[in-house]
């Protein structure tokens, strides 16, 4: 079995305030299906109110992280037998979240 990260950046989610509560319900329903199927590892949203910090090998700290690489939005990690399975779960999350999802293999 392989673990896959399924994520989206915040800018991909173009919702009105009225739409958001239903998206939460729908996306959480997909997560519950993942749990029932035994493929769920973890999920969460990045707390965008906390600035990223880039930590060097010497322990030095630089505010702002990598800067040119945005990591925000939501992340779900699943463990499934095939890449196709991961893509199918990503499609279900895309439907629930109302935005595209990026799928990456965790090595």
* Model confidence pLDDT, tens digit, residues 3-38: 999 999 998 999 999 999 999 999 999 999 999 999
Are 52 and 71 a contacting pair, CB within 8 Å?
Answer: yes
Q: What is the pLDDT of residue 67?
A: 75
Closest alpha carbon to 74 in 98, 55, 53: 98
Residues 30-74 have pLDDT tens digits of 999 999 999 999 999 999 899 999 999 999 999 988 877 778 899
Q: What is the pLDDT of residue 101?
A: 96
Residue range 74-100: mean pLDDT, rounded = 97
């Amino acid at each position: 079995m392989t673990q896959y990260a399924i994520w989206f950046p915040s800018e991909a989610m173009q919702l009105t305030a009225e739409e958001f509560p239903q998206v939460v319900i729908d996306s959480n329903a997909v997560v519950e299906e993942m749990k029932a199927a035994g493929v769920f590892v973890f999920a969460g949203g990045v707390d965008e109110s906390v600035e990223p910090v880039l930590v060097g090998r010497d322990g030095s700290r630089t505010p702002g992280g990598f800067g040119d690489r945005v990591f925000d939005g939501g992340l779900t990690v699943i463990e499934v037998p095939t890449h196709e399975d991961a893509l199918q779960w990503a499609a279900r999350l895309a439907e629930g979240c109302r935005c595209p999802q990026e799928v990456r293999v965790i090595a």
